[in-house]
Amino acid sequence: MHNPSGDKKRKVFRSKYLPGFLSTLFLCGVIEWIFVNYGRPHSWPQLVASVLFIALFTGLVVFLYRVIVIEEGIYAYTWYGVYQYLAWQDIISVSRMNIPGFGYLRVVTQRGAVVWVPLFLKNFKEFREAILAYAGDPEHPLVKYLADHP
């Protein structure tokens, strides 16, 4: 397996912070609304502590879970949060998957490995350019998907 930290031409991409924070905050707001309707509201200090925890958790996730593009392939994470390396030549299909509030590219290899690439990366234009430059072949599934869906 390749080591992305040793590659001088590697490109690192992180998700945008705000969408993750707001959607998590919204989900927690819905849960709190349920608590209020059942007569068990939380106190203000508990709510403030929850928002701070959500902010910290979202920041940690954005910092840790990144997509790395190198000349030989791409590193992204699986559904279970485990990093997986995919060589360009192993990728056979790319499709868009929507998880409420978020769009992802589901990238599948010949051996069945699947990684998820967020469509809400900070520098998505730069990500697209790196894929086009490193994957090379205009018929590559990831290159083709990004070209067909600007």
pLDDT tens-digit map of 130-148: 999 999 888 999 999 998 8
What contacts 45, CB < 8 A, 6 or more positions away? Answer: none
Three-state secondary structure call for residue 115: strand
b (16+ CB within 10 A) / e for 96-119: eeeeeeeebbebbbeeeeebbbbb
- Res 148: pLDDT: 86
- Res 3: pLDDT: 58
Q: Is the pLDDT of residue 39 over 80?
A: no
Neighbours of 131 (CB within 10 A): 21
Q: Is the pLDDT of residue 68 over 90?
A: yes
The residue ranking higher by pLDDT, 28 or 3, is: 28
For the entire predicted model, the pTM comes to 0.77
Q: pLDDT confidence of 7, banded at 50, 70, 90?
A: low
- Res 106: pLDDT: 96
- Res 5: pLDDT: 56
User: Which of 38-52, 67-81, 82-96, 100-114 shows the lowest mean pLDDT across its residues?
Assistant: 38-52
Q: pLDDT confidence of 109, banded at 50, 70, 90?
A: very high
- Res 117: pLDDT: 94
| Residue in the block written with tokens 């040793």 | 6
The residue ranking higher by pLDDT, 147 or 47, is: 147
Q: Which of 108, 114, 103 is nearest to 149 (CA)?
A: 103
What contacts 25, CB < 8 A, 6 or more positions away? Answer: 51, 54
Q: Is the pLDDT of residue 17 over 80?
A: yes
Q: Is the pLDDT of residue 69 over 90?
A: yes
Distance CA 85, CA 135 (A): 14
